[in-house]
Amino acid sequence: MTVPARAAAVPKPRCAVTARARGDQLFGTASPGERWLLIEHGGPWPRRAFDASPELLRVAERSTAVGVRAVLIRRPGRARRAFGSGGVVPGQPESRAYAVVDARPGREGVWWGTFFEERELLDVPLEPTGPPSREPVHLVCAHGRHDTCCAVEGRPVAAALDAARRGSTWECSHVGGDRFSANLVLLPHGLYYGTLDPNSALAVAEAYRAGRVVPPYLRGRSAFPPAVQAAQHYARLATGDDSLDALTPLGVERLDDRTTRVRLDGATVTVRAGWSEPAVLTCAADRPQIARVFEQVTISTPAR
């Protein structure tokens, strides 16, 4: 008796690949984060990163309670992660790094410190004083256990940035928007970029150091709500102004449940929120979902 051959399983398309094919709206999607706490941890990271230890979970809960977003960070490269950070060599505790970041406009700064045991982080001041670091921080999401795309797309980007600016780049745990991998967060300004490859990531990082943004890859700034992020995007298209500190929000008026008028320094933009067509938005999703999108209703800019 001949047994029929079993059909080979068809690999599920990765969420970042299908999102790029659909042309998912990138702008207006930066996750919230006015202040941040970065904690060096060499991994491995579970799906919920702060479940890595009871102490880390307590630190995350403390941070969330006061409006601070906590993420785990590690140096790019497997060998460097395993032996160069995180105190993961048994019996040989190492000094690890942490940073408190303020991404609010006019208060931008990164303050670094060190710790040996995670419980020490429960006493770290989350409103730092003193001079901040002058070096920007590049966070690349590479949290593979949260979403495959974060590892597949993120690690080559982290490696390229690390090679160009050693010491400034970290792989990080989940920051939101898996389908936009590779995701890069530039601190202290909290600029979210997505759909990057190594070459575009290097261009974005250099633009940041020059005080500019790169709109085609910019998801938004974490200190601003989504409607403001979308308004800034449309204003940049209209004015051509890619300066980092341009188009500062001056006022936000909610006109109805979907419509928001945003007054910026240099433009007034009205945007309307809607929803995308249902689609599988993460590698782990088992059913289609919808995502918020924005359209421009009106825009006015000063006469030149």
How confident is the model over 93-120, as pLDDT tens digits?
689 999 999 999 999 999 999 999 999 9
How much is the pTM? 0.91
Residue 101 in tokens: 């970041």
Q: Which CATH class is domain 15-223?
A: alpha beta
pLDDT at 166: 87
Contact assessment for residue 150 and residue 177, using Cβ atoms and an 8 Å cutoff: no
Q: How confident is the model at residue 85 (pLDDT cuts 50, 70, 90)?
A: very low
Q: Is the pLDDT of residue 6 over 70?
A: no
Cβ 155 vs Cβ 112: under 8 Å: no
Among the residue ranges 85-89, 200-204, 216-220, the one predicted with the least confidence is 85-89
Q: What is the pLDDT of residue 90?
A: 53
pLDDT at 268 over 50: yes
* Max Cα distance, the chain (Å): 83
Cβ-Cβ contacts under 8 Å for 284 (sequence gap 6 or more): 146, 147
What pLDDT, on a 0 to 100 scale, did the predictor assign at position 276? 94
190 falls in which pLDDT band (50, 70, 90)? very high
Residue 86 scores a pLDDT above 50? no
Instruction: Tell which residue, 238, 249, 280, has the closest CA to residue 16.
Output: 280
The 10s digit of each residue's pLDDT in 270-280 is 999 999 999 98
**What is the sign of the dihedral through the CA atoms of 89, 141, 175 and 46?**
negative
Q: How far is Cα of residue 271 from the mean position of the Cα atoms in its chain?
A: 23
Question: Residue 241 corresponds to which tokens in the numbers above?
Answer: 């102004």
pLDDT confidence bin for 144, thresholds 50/70/90? confident
Report the pLDDT value the prediction gives residue 12, as an integer from 0 to 100. 75
Q: The tokens 């670094």 sit on which residue?
A: 112
Neighbouring residues of 257: CB distance < 8 A, sequence distance ≥ 6: none
Q: What is the mean pLDDT of residues 24-38?
A: 97
- Mean pLDDT for the stretch of residues 161-178: 94
Are 49 and 16 in contact by the 8 Å Cβ rule? The answer is: no
Burial (CB count <10 Å: 0-12, 13-18, 19+), residue 166: exposed
Residue-level pLDDT at 78: 60
Write down the pLDDT at residue 80: 53
Distance CA(296)–CA(235), nearest Å, equals 10
Span 228-235, average pLDDT:
98
* CB atoms near residue 52 (< 10 Å): 19
